[in-house]
Structure 1
Amino acid sequence: MSFEYTPPKYAQLIAELERRIDSGEYPAGSLLPSEHTLMAEFGMARPTVVKALGVLRDQGWIVTQQGKGRFVRGRPAMPTSQQARAGRELLDRTETQVASKLLTAGPVEAPNRIAAYLGIEPKSPVTLRKILVERDGEPTEISATWVPAEIGEGTALAESTDLRQGIRRYVESAAGVSLDHIIEHITARNPTADERELLDVKSSAALLTVYAVACDATGKPWAVVETVLPGDRHELEDAYPIR
């Protein structure tokens, strides 16, 4: 079954506006460009622009003043105790930080879903690195990293030794880019035969699969980290401000 996916345009706009605020191009207290100005500059429809601005408002980057417009607040302050978002943690985690067993490292053909996330044709060559993670002697997750073949070839991602840096560092070094944002997708399903054996679960077990698609500031995807979690051994938690 084919699976088509295009990274949302609003995520690209969010990333660019955050960059401009961080750089001081849009200083705190300044009036943000109007919806029409942003639509014209980025070639986006109004609903896309409005959605991006709504996210920035909810996250505390901007504030709306009735009858005056939207004003820059600056980078929102978050509690230092806040845990990293799931996708960010997966991208930065090293294999030396967890008890893991390497299952696969090398070239494979991209499945439909992974190909769609990476913006390539199905069955295109990619590098896959898959590990089984254990905690207290019990298998707790299967983590697979998928990158285009030209990014993975000749790097530690295709080798059998433990990674001493997070996936993010290898990808940025090989691609010559800075990863800017992550788009997460979470699905629930039953396990495959291999997953039943590796995770020691029944065929009726519920698995959570987190796909973290790592993109640069333009929205181009460079890596997908796929993590398969037994539903009875994990609870996903997130924290974010409300305004």
Structure 2
Amino acid sequence: MTEPAYARVKAQLLRRIRNGRWRAGDRIPSEHELMREFGVARMTVGRALRELTGEGWLLRTQGVGTFVGGEPRAESHPVEIRNVAEEIVARGHAHRAETIRLEETELDDDAAAAMEREAGSKVFFSEVVHWEGDQPLQFERRWVAPDFAPAYLDQDFTRTTPSAHLLQIAAIEAGEQIVRAEAADRRVAKYLQIKTGEPLLVLVRRTWARGNVVSHARLFHPAQRFQLVGRFGSPLPSGRGSG
């Protein structure tokens, strides 16, 4: 099968970024210049640039031009339950974690509703910061049912992750994940090394096992360094639209 023209242009542009010919902050040639260079239509160049922009490789400013970005945004699937450490390693980066809190606590009204338990019930609670390379990527706040994971407070979450530990106990029967946009409060901003009020993407996650909610988590990510990506089906041939 012949590779679509936009994909060939995209691959060539990405190669120039990866081999250092174009560096972060460099302005790249205009669409018209790229059209002449590759001998393709404006629609073809436009699609290649849109995809590279969406993946975080390029930054486009209306009326100014297109510039090379930094590293592409970290990404996660909006539906699948994944281990953040595995996602980071899969991108070729180092994962490390810092445990901020690991203790027994009582459920407040909001957490109790999420855990489907009475307010004031005892649960295990953790706060962990996950780093990708030299940048904090995720601030994880999690409530866990003690009867499901009795050894939770004994875990070293600099060596494993809360998700990995829970998956070792029993298979997850069901999961729910809600995506929200929020502004960072002072505490979350501190650990993600951003300013208070900066935008966040928050995954609110619940998981069920043995017929009960066993974990409720709020996963905070800096919006400028993180995106949610869900893919399905096969790529459309060049020139066809999408819905």
Give TM-score scaled by structure 1 length. Answer: 0.53
Pairing partner for 2:195 from 186, 195, 202: 202
2:184 matches 1:181: no
2:162 matches 1:162: no
1:167-221 deviation line (CA, Å, top 9, x unaligned): 45644666xx542121111111112221121112122211111022111375x31
Q: Taking structure 1 as reference, are residues 105 and 94 closer, same or farther at Cα in structure 2, changes over 3 Å only?
A: farther
Aligned residues: 155
Q: Taking structure 1 as reference, are residues 118 and 93 closer, same or farther at Cα in structure 2, changes over 3 Å only?
A: farther
Equivalents in 2 of 1:204, 1:168: separation in Å?
28
Shift of 1:98: 2.2
Give TM-score scaled by structure 2 length. Answer: 0.53
Q: Taking structure 1 as reference, are residues 239 and 230 closer, same or farther at Cα in structure 2, changes over 3 Å only?
A: same
The letter for the 2-side match of 1:137 is D
Equivalents in 2 of 1:99, 1:185: separation in Å?
25
Aligned to 2:217: 225
The question of whether the paired residues in 2 share the 8 Å contact of 1:105 and 1:160 is answered with no
The question of whether the paired residues in 2 share the 8 Å contact of 1:126 and 1:147 is answered with yes
Pairing partner for 1:103 from 97, 100, 104: 100
The letter for the 2-side match of 1:187 is R
Answer 1 or 2: which has greater strand percent: 2
Shift of 1:103: 0.8
Where does the alignment leave 5 or more consecutive residues of structure 2 unmatched?
A: 1-75, 235-243
Where does the alignment leave 5 or more consecutive residues of structure 1 unmatched?
A: 1-82
2:87 matches 1:90: no
Shift of 1:140: 1.4
The question of whether the paired residues in 2 share the 8 Å contact of 1:213 and 1:224 is answered with yes
CA-based RMSD of the aligned residues comes to 3.2
The question of whether the paired residues in 2 share the 8 Å contact of 1:168 and 1:179 is answered with no
1:11-58 deviation line (CA, Å, top 9, x unaligned): xxxxxxxxxxxxxxxxxxxxxxxxxxxxxxxxxxxxxxxxxxxxxxxx
State the identity %: 12
1:1-243 equivalences under 5 Å are 87-90=80-83, 98-153=95-150, 155=151, 157-159=152-154, 161-162=156-157, 167=162, 170-171=165-166, 178-216=171-209, 218=211, 220-241=212-233
The letter for the 2-side match of 1:141 is Q
